[in-house]
Amino acid sequence: MNKVANIFKGLFSVGSLCAAILIAAPAAHAQEAVALDGKVKVERVETVDGKEQTVFKEPTSVVPGDKLVFSTAYRNTSTQPVDNFVVTNPLPGAVMLAETDDSFEVSVDGGATFGALADLTITDAEAGQRAAKPADVTHIRWTLARIAPGEEGVLEYHAIVR
């Protein structure tokens, strides 16, 4: 995961993708109680026994158009439940969101405000105010209502290299 990409908009590294995967924004106690682990995988199509299969691999290089899956695994390591735990992932500038999902909210203003993509607008220098598109998304946020002691899960989103 920390290997430098050979081609990624000329200067972008896979390590930079991983560094931008997640920001947990809960209270200090909750930060200590919930362990987070971010990963990124690239989607590849391989032929195995004459059949094409989609596989997800640790990227060593990526190029524009590659499909990526960013994931954040979480686990409550405490003996107490954690309520309203927020995980915010900034999207690296070299990728754009591939699709939205009801499980998360998005921001198109650098993380200042969040909502459903369909409800957000941006001001475009050419078009004025317009509906936000997946390419405008700067951050993704999940709010986990309650994480029981020992509970674990994975949050993920799909992106495309610009």
43 belongs to a structural domain: yes
pLDDT for 124-155, tens place per residue?
888 899 999 999 999 999 999 999 999 999 99
**Could you give the C-alpha distances from 28 to 24, 32, 152, in angstroms and in order?**
10, 7, 19
Is there a domain that residue 6 lies in? Answer: no
The pLDDT value recorded for residue 101 is 87
Q: Is the dihedral of CA 111, 112, 115, 120 positive or negative?
A: negative
In a domain, 105, yes or no: yes
Whole domain around residue 139: which residue ranges?
14-161
CATH number at residue 97: 2.60.40
Q: Tokens 């991983």 identify what position?
A: 18
| Total domain count, the chain | 1
**Model pLDDT, residue 58:** 95
Query: Domain for residue 129, yes or no?
Result: yes
Would residue 4 count as lying in a domain? Answer: no
**Model confidence at 82: pLDDT above 70:** yes
Q: Is residue 77 part of a domain?
A: yes
Is 54 within the bounds of a domain? yes
Determine contact, residues 27/82, Cβ cutoff 8 Å. no
8 pLDDT tier (thresholds 50, 70, 90): very low
Continuous segment of H or E residues that includes residue 30: helix 28-33
CB 83 within 8 Å of CB 148: no
Q: Residue 1: inside a domain, yes or no? A: no
